[in-house]
Amino acid sequence: MPKPDTAKTQEVRPDPQLEKRTRRTFTVDYKLSILQQAAACKHGELGALLRREKLYSNQLAQWRREFENQGVKGLSKSQPGPAAVKTPEQRRIEQLEKENARLKKQLLVKDSCLELQKKALALIEQAEREGSS
């Protein structure tokens, strides 16, 4: 009896939701709720709260600092990380200046090679003239 044809390939398409991981965002109300629950926790209960909400202790500490320093306004931080120092135009100018410097250096090397070839050719021609006379 012949074996079934297993050489056929099947196309596997993963679920797009599983492929892309996104950063979780928390609302101000949620953060306040967690801060209140954490403040009400007795000794040893905080870990269970964090596990249940799938949070890290450093997130809670950060939220506490933000709330302590700026109040509710501090919890509404929208973008993670520091603000950009340079504008996109400044970054583009910097990139173009770097490329310009690289091209100038490349041009200098090529010009030097041409000068060297000219000198070598002049020496060869001079040696041929002296040898023929």
**pLDDT, position 78:** 58
Rounded to whole angstroms, the Cα distance separating 51 from 47 reads 6
Query: What percentage of the chain reaches a pLDDT higher than 70?
Result: 86
CA distance readout (Å), 41 to 59, 62, 110? 17, 18, 73
- The candidate with the shortest Cα–Cα distance to 92, out of 103, 100, 81, is 100
Weakest mean pLDDT among 3-7, 32-36, 81-85, 117-121: 3-7
- What pLDDT is attached to residue 4? 62
Would you list the DSSP string of 14-33?
A: --HHHH--------HHHHHH
Mean pLDDT of all residues in 6-29: 75
Percent of the chain with pLDDT over 90: 54
Q: Decide if 49 contacts 38 (C-beta within 8 A).
A: yes
Average pLDDT over residues 95-118: 97
Calculate mean pLDDT across residues 30-46: 91
Stated pTM of the model: 0.45
Q: How far apart are CA 32 and CA 65, in angstroms?
A: 12
> What was the pLDDT predicted at 126?
92
Q: Give pLDDT, residue 110.
A: 96
Q: Kindly indicate the confidence band of residue 8, based on its pLDDT and cuts at 50, 70 and 90.
A: low
DSSP states along 48-114:
HHHHHHT--HHHHHHHHHHHHHHTHHHHT--S-SPPPSS-HHHHHHHHHHHHHHHHHHHHHHHHHHH
Taking only the tens place, the pLDDT of each residue in 66-92 is 898 888 888 886 566 777 788 889 999
Both structure tokens of 117: 């070839």
Please provide the average confidence, as pLDDT, over all residues in the chain.
86
How high is the pLDDT of residue 75? 82
